[in-house]
Structure 1
Amino acid sequence: MVDQDRIIKINIEEEMKSAYIDYSMSVIVSRALPDVRDGFKPVHRRVLFGMNELGNTSDKPYKKSARIVGEVLGKYHPHGDSSVYYAMVRMAQKWSLRYPLVDGQGNFGSVDGDSPAAMRYTEARLSKLAEEMLRDIDKDTVDFQLNFDDTLKEPTVLPTRIPNLLVNGASGIAVGMATNMPPHNMSEVIDACLAYIDAKGEIDVEGLMHYVKAPDFPTGATIYGYAGVKEAFETGRGRIILRGKAEIEADHSHEKIIITEIPYLVNKAELIKYIADLVNEKRIDGISNVNDESDRSGMRIVVDVKRDFNSNVVLNKLYKLTALQSSFSVNNIALVNGRPRQLNLKDMIQLFVEHRKEVVTRRTRFELKKAEERAHILEGLIIASDNIDEVIAIIKSSANPQDAINRLMERFQLSEIQSRAIVEMRLRQLTGLEQEKLRAEYEEIEKLIARLKEILENEDICMQVIKDELAEIKDKYGDERKTDIVYASEELNPEDFYADDEMIITISHLGYIKRTPLSEFRAQARGGVGAKGSETRDEDFVEYIYPASMHATMLFFTARGKCYWLKVFEIPEGAKNTKGRAIQNLLNIESGDSVNAFIRIKNLTSDVEFINSHYLLFCTKKGVIKKTLLEAYSRPRQNGVNAITLHEDDGLIQVRLTNGNNEVLIANRNGRAIRFHENAVRVMGRTAAGVIGMRLDDDPEDEVVGMVCVKDKEKETILVVSEQGYGKRSSIDDYRITNRGGKGVKTLNITEKTGKLVGIKTVTDENDLMIINKSGITIRMKVADLHIIGRATQGVRLINLEKRNDEIASVCKVMSDLDEEEAINPENPEENKEENPEE
């Protein structure tokens, strides 16, 4: 029964809950979160206090780290020695703390993640800045508490003159909460504190942000985008993007990317290793070597870029794929009156200023008390010096010191403290000079007492003292920002990863697409046999080829009249002899539909003036034409939009970009063409059906093969190409202007030898033709080799098909003088923008 009475039954759920709450609160309050006033967790506070108690200050020799750790461990912090040592080490690392608080000597680790030497090898002492955090600690400025075994006292907070929580930041993981506070520039933070005091607290976060621009990290780097900074300052939470600083240096043979600063808390050695791994895994192209050339003068990581690769593109890929661009998630949680609280910029400055006010007030009270005690003693000494003979006589005739004290108290109405001071007075103080010093000291003490009382009674004077002390700290320790700020940029633009090179876009009959650098195609003489252009399946052949730059936007128009969007860099790259990738896998095209037309626009969404002054001209195989403002197609949607309403037996074959002042030519399979001004077609809405542009023959196989827009009648000529490889250049004036809706005039004399018409283009002598036949053979030839002849003739042979029993599938024009360079003029963006690549 006795044993049973000693067992207390409790609910295990309640016990677990209360025990865990006790544990979590202990971690939150006594281990993981910093105090808002001095910005320290207990371990850091104890390390600095312990070093100060040891006399391990900046003006004295270094002491062994093991000596310091032993002092802190034995007196204040009963935890593992490594926790104390590594806390001290971090306060000495200039890449960890914006303003180091410990002056270390020896191996304290490196930015490469190397461990510090053992504490028996290293030495340390307080930095001058840390002494500012401990100054006046002996003047009753802060509360003390008993240590773990109740034998000593330790401070609950330091009387810091530095807004340490803001300037050095903090990080810690508690139970159910964490903190991650970035460091800031001391000059900026003190300026903000002064502004807060001047405004008497009537200043908002935005006003304080005029002084504290952004966090300032010890490793420098660049803050990329300001939205996260603003959010963190206003709410206490935010995500700051950090980019390492890099420059591109040109060498004799190739370019180099020189990285001189990396984001905060990034391990340099691991960053270099990861870059090397990316190169080995072929996830980054264009890097031949990575070297770490850092030395005591600074950081220098050299990334060698291969010849013919764009250094800016390589650098942007490094930003995206490596820690060279990192994010710092701000979470400003600190202890306020022993409770965790989320703090914005104003909260932290306000609470620091309030702490300084309390410290200054308590220090002033302490100093006033000491001054009054000294004045009291001086008053007694002055009375004694005025009556020195009598005082000596009383002391000489007294039986013992206490008797002398009592008789002096009675004779001169002195206090016991004054009488004791007189009895203990040295004979040298009886000299005239010493008596003058007493009176001078008393006068100074009286002035000091008046000044101290003024500070306590007048809040404005008290705040001025705080301001003067903060300004002194700024003058001594303030410095320039290390971290730059790029305000405008937010996230990485996908275009940053691709050089704006010129490409040839190839689309096959069965809907396979790829982009190939223009330089892979080479010019050949007219009538040549051609080079193998693309490997396709037996029943497939290359049907369309277009020139386009990598950053352009492409509008795809399908036979069923839908419009889709893609950036050129989103199209998979393939060599000249590969078949590419199915468009169905890139666009959400309905089954049975196929892409029949394409427009390339340089700046579709950003150039408002351009898209509101240009039009898209649609042409269907039944001869219907429609004109719509380009702006109607400037809002990309993933699933596409309806571009034109078609009749059941019709299909879209051509779309042209116009400026509203072009002439239009439409040709059919039977060799006729019609010419009219685009003003003959009124502007319609995006989903309109259009009007008749050309009337077809009664032949059921007749249909429109192409439409061109004439932009420069002086330079451009009309080129038509037939199935059997015949083609002809004619003057535009050979085609008379009529109204839309007619049958047109003969453009090529169709015979069994020539075959039906397959294409119509506008060309100049500066163009090359790229011709692809149904078996995938490609030939490139100069338009200048073709003479201008009459429109009704049979034309000349362009490509030799007799040996192959083949037919031409598609023709395209490119710039002739850019055989191995670009298809579009890079010097004139306006020309690039308005260029309408032909199918």
Structure 2
Amino acid sequence: MTSEQDLPEVEVLENPRVKPVNVEEEMKTSYINYAMSVIIGRAIPDVRDGLKPVHRRSLFAMWEMGNTHDKAYKKSARVVGEVMGKFHPHGDSSIYGTIVGMAQPWTYRMMLADGQGNFGSIDGDSPAAMRYTEIRLKPEAEELLADLDKETVGFVPNFDESLEEPSVLPAKLPNLLINGSDGIAVGMATKMPPHNLGEVCKAIIYYLDHPDATVENLMEILPGPDFPTGGVIMGTDGIKSAYHTGYGKLTVRGVADIDETGKREHIIITEIPYQVNKSRLIEHIAELVREKRIDGISDIRDESDKEGMRIVIDLKKGTHPQMVLNHLFKHTALESTFGVINLAIVDNQPKVLGLIPLIEQFVKHRITVITRRSEYDKRKAEERAHILRGLLHAIDNIDAVIATIRASKTADEAKGALVEKFDLDEAQATAILQMQLRRLAALEKQKLVDEREQLEAEIRRLMELLSSETNIRAEIARELTESEAKFGDKRRTEITFDPTTIDKEDLIPNKQVLVCLTKHNYVKYIDIDAYRTQGRGGRGVMGISTKDEDFVEQVFVAYTHDHLLCFTSEGRAYWLRVFDIPEGSRQSRGKAIVNLLNLKDDERVTAVIPVKEFCADRFFLFLTEHGMTIKIPQDEFSRPRSTGVNAITLRDDDHLVHVIVTDGSQEVLITTRYGQSLRFHEDQISLRHRNALGVIGMRMRDDDVVRSLTVVEEGKLLLTITEAGYGKRTSFDEYRGHGRGTLGVRNIKVGRNDGVVTAFAVSEDEEIILMSADGNVIRTKVNKISIQGRSTRGVRMMKINAKDRVVGVTSLSPEESQELQDIPQAEIIDEGDEDLAPDQE
């Protein structure tokens, strides 16, 4: 072993070509250079023409080759070779992939290449080899390249500095907004959605006319992205975020319809979200069915062809199609998220841009292009006009010009003589020497004169255009208008304001149900098909099991997705969704509504109205037990609160008993327990806000109380039902109009132990449902009920025992009952008018 001290000293010689560097700084600098090279030179599009370098080079190479839309197709391999050999030496696969993408209608909203052959499919199939396919430019792509030869953009050397290529295209169309972009760089990515060409052009034109326009102003014209594969964008929050900040999340759904033709129902998918692979979507659905995560699907078929997409999903018998569809949205790519990142290169720097900055950058680019193009055209026009002036001067002095030329020994000598003798410059003299003898004809001279005048007019136009930026912006608007007319098409993607998430509502079928509310405020809903249609006078079927002297008080038809506006005896309003009510059998009691609503002590629900939407031009008309009434706009109840709100103010010992919906221009009719009715116009009731005190609607004698409130409808009759099961229809014409606050007239004769349950308007083709306190329910058609005058008792509608009574009545429209079987009508029962109450008319 030799010790360190025994080693000889080594002389270190300095190499002038070796420089010491800090490794950390060198790695940082090298990585940044590499990252910027990838960001600017490969993955991120330029904000001006919306193209990455490979796309720009491919289009430019095809333009240089003359491979335009009006020429024959050229082999894709030839185009790829041209691009790779001259401008983009990064391999043929990336170039061919770029060209293929620009020719795929499911990839580009505005295709830039016109392909012939197999260019792949939306199922992810690969295109044919480049030696088999052919390609050429689309007219839209030529709009991006137009004016390239007029010094509108700068050119830079190609990779080996043997040729030049444009650093950006003139881009007459806003390609970045129309086609979007997708790319992953180093440490950043871009994902810009495509838009409709016509809408983008209109939005930019609006911005040119209104430089202070807001995103909200522009969204009235450009509501959102427009994907080549269509679909539905759920909600606008993501769009607004992307347009304001450059970032946003869009929930995109495919388009699926429920087909009910044939023995079984089908779901037919005709559009899928952007960038979703159709075959993988079908495979995923089949996998979910095999795993039993989605029930009700019996078969899946892909029937897509050249006419369009068509995926057919066969459903099992008894399956709710909407529920299956909602599960597909929730568990498959039929509903996808498109994350927007509007990252583009601006002045050689990557920046995230909102909608207005994107438009501003395009307009700025076009101002530069049109300015440079106009200056170029003006210079060329001035040069040509200058030549024409020399030619016309020579023609006017043709004899002297010819003599001068003939006297010269050489062309150069003749040129010099012309310049000196006729006050011309060299360019004019050269043109004169090159002039053909046919130009000496009178008509030829006139052509030169006309051309000079046209050029002078063009020069004046260009000078006017260049005189202010306002004129240039007007020229941009004119070109965009022409492009919209030439290339615009209809929007493919629908934008909806519906919620973007699938919640409980989306997984529950929106079916028609019968909602029952008892005197003790127990509530449930029952499938409407649980009841068969019976003839008038039948006994009915058991509809609810009641306990402790409870009985059914209200029954009405609604849909499971409806809002129920529940009004209480204390004049308060609560909100409830039908699907939040427990579904029960005919015999079940239901659930106490106090467990569903935050009711106060001794507060009871007395009126329930199903509402699909709250409108400002529709009203709730309230009626209390003592005849007080008030009218409030429906939209004052459009903001649900879990604690409820005050609807109206009540006087002592009064209670809210009835609420109806009106449009503000109708007559109404109030009916009391002892059979008195009052008709008057609702404009006699002033419009109030919530929590106001009402006015007197109807006066009553003794212990009489209000039982119903209905709208007088043309073509309908008043149906009155009593507690003893009697009923009749009466024409509204028999009730002459009285002023609000009067006693009214007799409507029906009632017995000593009888009273009116309700009275409301019905049409000839409706059905009604009656429910008794013991819970029996029957259905019968209105046209089976006889039409009688006011002072009659009517006919027997429902057989009930001495201790039972009718407590609830509701009606069904023809649409609601069209699938129900009609049982033959029972024999009319008329038991006379004995045991009636004293005359109250």
Alignment of 1:238-257 (within 5 A): 238-257=248-267
- CA drift of 1:517 comes to 11
What TM-score results when the alignment is normalised by the length of structure 2? 0.64
Q: Distance in 1 between matches of 2:442 and 2:278?
A: 71
> In structure 2, do the counterparts of structure 1 residues 123 and 571 end up closer, same or farther at CA, with 3 Å as the change threshold?
farther
Q: What amino acid maps onto 1:164 in structure 2?
A: N
Alignment of 1:123-142 (within 5 A): 123-142=134-153
Q: Distance in 1 between matches of 2:656 and 2:383?
A: 97
- CA drift of 1:518 comes to 12
> In structure 2, do the counterparts of structure 1 residues 568 and 789 end up closer, same or farther at CA, with 3 Å as the change threshold?
closer
1:367 to 365, 371, 377: 377
In structure 2, the partner of 1:30 is 41
8 Å CA contact 2:561, 2:577 repeated in 1:
yes
Q: Distance in 2 between matches of 1:549 and 1:384?
A: 92
Alignment of 1:62-81 (within 5 A): 62-81=73-92
In structure 1, the partner of 2:486 is 476
In structure 2, the partner of 1:87 is 98
**389-398 vs 234-243, which deviates more?**
389-398
| Residue 112 (structure 2) pairs with residue 109 (structure 1) | no
What are the Cα deviations for residues 49-80 of structure 1, in whole angstroms up to 9, with x where unaligned? 11000000000000000100111111111112
Q: Secondary structure at the match of 1:371?
A: helix
| Residue 277 (structure 2) pairs with residue 267 (structure 1) | yes
1:332 to 331, 335, 342: 342
What are the Cα deviations for residues 387-431 of structure 1, in whole angstroms up to 9, with x where unaligned? 222222332332322222122212122211111222222232233
In structure 2, the partner of 1:429 is 439
Q: Distance in 2 between matches of 1:448 and 1:502?
A: 72
Q: What amino acid maps onto 2:123 in structure 1?
A: D
What are the Cα deviations for residues 115-159 of structure 1, in whole angstroms up to 9, with x where unaligned? 111111100000011111111100001111111111111111111
Q: Distance in 1 between matches of 2:469 and 2:480?
A: 17
Q: Secondary structure at the match of 2:149?
A: coil
8 Å CA contact 1:605, 1:635 repeated in 2:
no
**108-117 vs 494-503, which deviates more?**
494-503
Q: Distance in 2 between matches of 1:107 and 1:346?
A: 39
In structure 1, the partner of 2:473 is 463
What are the Cα deviations for residues 652-699 of structure 1, in whole angstroms up to 9, with x where unaligned? xxxxxxx9889xxxxxxxxxxxxxxxxxxxxxxxxxxxxxxxxxxxxx
In structure 1, the partner of 2:323 is 313
What are the Cα deviations for residues 294-338 of structure 1, in whole angstroms up to 9, with x where unaligned? 111111111111111111111111111111111211111111111
1:209 to 219, 222, 244: 219
Q: Secondary structure at the match of 2:313?
A: strand
Q: Distance in 2 between matches of 1:482 and 1:171?
A: 20
8 Å CA contact 1:502, 1:518 repeated in 2:
yes
List gaps (5 residues or longer) in structure 2.
1-11, 514-524, 531-557, 565-574, 585-607, 625-636, 644-654, 659-720, 726-752, 754-771, 779-797, 810-819, 821-841
Q: Distance in 1 between matches of 2:421 and 2:102?
A: 60
List gaps (5 residues or longer) in structure 1.
504-514, 521-547, 555-564, 575-600, 615-630, 638-658, 663-711, 717-732, 734-760, 768-783, 791-814, 816-825, 827-839
What TM-score results when the alignment is normalised by the length of structure 1? 0.64
What are the Cα deviations for residues 247-304 of structure 1, in whole angstroms up to 9, with x where unaligned? 1111321111111111111111111111111111111111111111111111111111
2:411 to 401, 412, 416: 401
Alignment of 1:246-645 (within 5 A): 246-499=256-509
| Residue 236 (structure 2) pairs with residue 222 (structure 1) | no
8 Å CA contact 2:562, 2:612 repeated in 1:
no
Q: What amino acid maps onto 2:323 in structure 1?
A: V
In structure 2, the partner of 1:683 is none
| Residue 194 (structure 2) pairs with residue 183 (structure 1) | yes
8 Å CA contact 1:226, 1:490 repeated in 2:
no
Q: Secondary structure at the match of 1:406?
A: helix
In structure 1, the partner of 2:714 is none
- CA drift of 1:197 comes to 1.5
8 Å CA contact 1:225, 1:489 repeated in 2:
yes
- CA drift of 1:551 comes to 7.2
2:175 to 140, 164, 167: 164
Q: Distance in 1 between matches of 2:412 and 2:495?
A: 73
- CA drift of 1:478 comes to 1.0
- CA drift of 1:383 comes to 2.1
Q: Secondary structure at the match of 1:138?
A: helix
Q: Distance in 2 between matches of 1:502 and 1:184?
A: 40
8 Å CA contact 1:551, 1:602 repeated in 2:
no
| Residue 63 (structure 2) pairs with residue 49 (structure 1) | no
Q: Distance in 2 between matches of 1:501 and 1:370?
A: 74
- CA drift of 1:764 comes to 3.3
Q: Distance in 1 between matches of 2:431 and 2:262?
A: 85
Q: Distance in 2 between matches of 1:661 and 1:571?
A: 22
- CA drift of 1:348 comes to 1.4
Q: Distance in 1 between matches of 2:269 and 2:169?
A: 39
- Aligned identity (percent) is 50
> In structure 2, do the counterparts of structure 1 residues 5 and 426 end up closer, same or farther at CA, with 3 Å as the change threshold?
closer
> In structure 2, do the counterparts of structure 1 residues 607 and 348 end up closer, same or farther at CA, with 3 Å as the change threshold?
closer
Q: Distance in 1 between matches of 2:563 and 2:293?
A: 25
Q: Distance in 2 between matches of 1:253 and 1:318?
A: 22
Alignment of 1:819-838 (within 5 A): none
8 Å CA contact 2:623, 2:657 repeated in 1:
no
Q: What amino acid maps onto 2:97 in structure 1?
A: Y
8 Å CA contact 1:223, 1:485 repeated in 2:
yes
Q: Distance in 1 between matches of 2:377 and 2:30?
A: 45
- CA drift of 1:603 comes to 8.7
- CA drift of 1:500 comes to 5.8
Q: What amino acid maps onto 1:343 in structure 2?
A: L
Q: Distance in 1 between matches of 2:199 and 2:67?
A: 30
8 Å CA contact 1:552, 1:568 repeated in 2:
yes
Q: What amino acid maps onto 1:55 in structure 2?
A: G
CA RMSD of aligned residues (A): 5.3
| Residue 108 (structure 2) pairs with residue 97 (structure 1) | yes
In structure 1, the partner of 2:206 is 195
8 Å CA contact 1:715, 1:764 repeated in 2:
no
Q: Secondary structure at the match of 1:2?
A: coil
What are the Cα deviations for residues 772-806 of structure 1, in whole angstroms up to 9, with x where unaligned? xxxxxxxxxxxx9999999xxxxxxxxxxxxxxxx
What are the Cα deviations for residues 802-839 of structure 1, in whole angstroms up to 9, with x where unaligned? xxxxxxxxxxxxx9xxxxxxxxxx9xxxxxxxxxxxxx
8 Å CA contact 2:724, 2:800 repeated in 1:
no
8 Å CA contact 2:235, 2:499 repeated in 1:
yes
8 Å CA contact 1:255, 1:311 repeated in 2:
yes
8 Å CA contact 1:246, 1:261 repeated in 2:
yes
8 Å CA contact 2:105, 2:111 repeated in 1:
yes
Q: Secondary structure at the match of 1:288?
A: strand
- CA drift of 1:550 comes to 7.8
Q: Distance in 2 between matches of 1:499 and 1:294?
A: 29
- CA drift of 1:7 comes to 4.1
> In structure 2, do the counterparts of structure 1 residues 714 and 128 end up closer, same or farther at CA, with 3 Å as the change threshold?
same
Q: What amino acid maps onto 1:301 in structure 2?
A: I
Q: Distance in 2 between matches of 1:208 and 1:214?
A: 10
